[in-house]
Structure 1
C-alpha cells in the first residue's frame, strides 16, 4: 500500500469520479461516499494503478462506518493490492483494532496463509508496526507466531528493529503465557538471511530496552551469538557509540575482547570510528590493548593511520605498546609517517621520547641506588 497520506490523484487509469470516491473514503466523508455510490453509480471496486480499492483506503484509515457502507454495497473483501495487501493487512498495519475485529469476527476473513509480496503475514505486520493489542488479538485467533517473511525475519526481528519493547513485553512477560508465546520464545536465536538474530537488530538500532528483554526473558538468548561478520551485540553497540547499551551487555556477561571475522575487538572498532568516549569506557572496563587484528595492528596502529588524536592519546596514556609491529613490520609511528599524519607523528615521537626517558631514568636510579647498596652488602660479607 502507498504511504499513509498518498492517493493516486494523478492516476490516469481511473476516472475523475473514481478518484473522488477513493479520496472521500480515505477522508471519511460519509455523505459524499453515499452520494457517489447512489447517484453517480461509481464502481465500488474501482482500483488505482497500485491495485488499491476504496475499501483498502477506508480500512487502512480506520473509518469503520465507511467500511460497512462499502461492504453493504458488495465491495469485494478478498481483493489484494499489487503489494499483496489484503483488507486485514491494511488494518493491521495501521493498528485499527476495531476494524480488525469486524473483519475477523463479522466477515470471517482471517486467512493465515495470506501474505504480502515481501512475505508478511498479519501477525508479522502487527510486530513490525508495534501494535501489541493487535498482536494479542491475532494470537487469540490462532495465527502462527513462527512465520517468517521473505528475508527470514521472525516476529522478534521485526519488533526488535522498531524498538517495540511493549511488543516484547507481550511476547516474553505476559500475564498468562499461551502455547503460542512458548513457540515464539523458541525463535529467540533464529537468524534471518543476513545472519542476524533479534539481539543483533536491537543492538544495531540502539534499542536498549529490547536488548534487556531478550536477555532477561526466561527464553534467554545466547548473549555471544554472532552475525555473518562474526560480530556480537557488543561490537554493534560500540560501533554506534552506544555506551549505555555496551554497559548493559558487559554487565550481563558479554566477553569484552571478542574478535570479529577480521579479528577486530570492540576497542579496534572504537578506534577506527573515532569514538574517544567509547574507547575510554572500554579501557576502564579492562579491555586488552595488545590484541591485533588480521593486519597485525593494535588499536593504536589504527588511530595512527587515520589520525584520530583523541583516541590515540587515551591509548598511549593507558600504556599501549608503541613498539609492536604489524604484518608490514611497522610500529604505530611508522604507520603514521606512511599515512602522512603530521600531528600523530609528533604525538608518537614525544611519547617515544618520554618512554625512553623513563627507561633511562630507571637505569639511572638503579645504578645510583641499587648498585651501591649491593656493593656495600658484598663488602660487608667479604670483610
Structure 2
C-alpha cells in the first residue's frame, strides 16, 4: 500500500520507482493510494499515480470512486485531472466498447447508465455531481459503533441529540481511533449548527487528528472557518506533512478562505516538509486561480524563500 498524502510527491515518486509494488492495492475500506491523494486534493501525487497506471475506476467498500471523492470534497483541480483519465466504462472488471456510451439510455445496458464514465462522455456533468454527492453523503453517515456517543450522534447527523448530550458528557474532547474529536467530526460533516454548539460548550479548538489536521484545517466553508477563527482557533497549525490551512486553501483556489486567514493574521511564510510556502503554491496553481498570488504578495508574503528545487522568483 502506498501512502499518498499532501506534500508527499517525492515519496510517491520513490515508491513508484520500486519493484513489485501494486498501485491498486486497497485498504480494508477499499481505498488505494489514488483515493488518498484525491481525498486530500494532492494533484501532483494523483497525476504521478495515474501516469504510472493507477486505476481510477476502482470502487471502495461504500461504492465510491475517486471521482466521487473529488466531487464530494470540492477538489476542482483533481476532478479535472480525473476527467482526462476516465475514458472507459467498466462492468465487473471488463472494459466495454466505448461506442456503447453513444447509445441512448433506453438502448444502453442498464448497468452502464449510471456509471461515471458514461455520464462524463454524455456530458451529464450536473447529474454526475448530484449522484456523487448523494453516494458520498450516504457513506459519511456510516460510523463505528465504538465511537463516543456524542461523536456517533454527530456522524449520524442526529443534530437534535447533541444539545442534551452536551449536558451529560463528561469529556467532549474524546477522540476516536483516527484522533478525531467531536468538533473535528462536526466540521467534517459540514454541520455549522453543531460546530457552534460545541464551540460554545468549550470544545478544544486545536486538537489534531492522527494526520495532523485540526477542526479548522478540515473546514470546507467560509461560515465554519469564520466561526472557528472568531473563537480563537490556531491558524498556523501544520499537518503531518507540514501543510497549514492557508497552504491548502491556496492550493485548492479558495480565495475567500485565504483572505479570511490573512485578515486573521495567519503566518504567510511557513514551509512544509518539501520547503513549499503558500506563495509557491499560489504560483503553481496560478492557472486555476490567479487572484490568490497578488493577495498574498500584498499581504507581505516572503518572495525569497526557497523549496527543495528553486526560489519563488
TM-score by length of 2: 0.51
Distance 2:293 2:186 in 1: 30
Q: CA deviation at 1:326?
A: 1.1
Distance 1:150 1:279 in 2: 34
Quote the residue 2:253 is aligned against: 274
Runs of 4+ in 1 over 6 A off after TM superposition: none
Segments of structure 2 that go 5 or more residues without pairing to the other structure are 1-140
Number of residue pairs the alignment of both structures matches: 171
Do the aligned residues in 2 keep the contact of 1:154 with 1:187 (CA within 8 Å)? no
- Given candidates 177, 183, 186, the residue that maps to 2:170 is 186
Q: Kindly tell me: are residues 251 and 150 of structure 1, through their superposed partners in 2, closer, same or farther at Cα, counting changes over 3 Å?
A: closer
Q: Which protein, 1 or 2, shows the higher relative CO under an 8 Å CA cutoff with sep ≥ 6?
A: 2
Which of the pair is proportionally richer in helix? 1
Quote the residue 1:245 is aligned against: 224
Q: CA deviation at 1:150?
A: 4.7
Q: CA deviation at 1:189?
A: 1.8
- Given candidates 251, 272, 290, the residue that maps to 2:269 is 290
Quote the residue 2:114 is aligned against: none
- Given candidates 178, 181, 203, the residue that maps to 1:197 is 181
Q: CA deviation at 1:161?
A: 2.2
2:305 is the counterpart of 1:311: no
- Given candidates 209, 227, 235, the residue that maps to 1:227 is 209
Segments of structure 1 that go 5 or more residues without pairing to the other structure are 1-127, 130-148, 174-180, 334-383
Quote the residue 1:166 is aligned against: 160
Do the aligned residues in 1 keep the contact of 2:279 with 2:296 (CA within 8 Å)? yes
Do the aligned residues in 1 keep the contact of 2:212 with 2:240 (CA within 8 Å)? yes
Q: Please state whether the residue corresponding to 2:150 is helix, strand or coil.
A: helix
Backbone CA RMSD of aligned residues: 2.1
Distance 2:166 2:178 in 1: 24
Do the aligned residues in 1 keep the contact of 2:144 with 2:152 (CA within 8 Å)? no
Distance 1:193 1:202 in 2: 16
Quote the residue 1:345 is aligned against: none
Q: Please state whether the residue corresponding to 1:309 is helix, strand or coil.
A: coil
Distance 2:276 2:306 in 1: 7
- When Rg is computed on C-alpha atoms for both structures, the one with the higher figure is 1
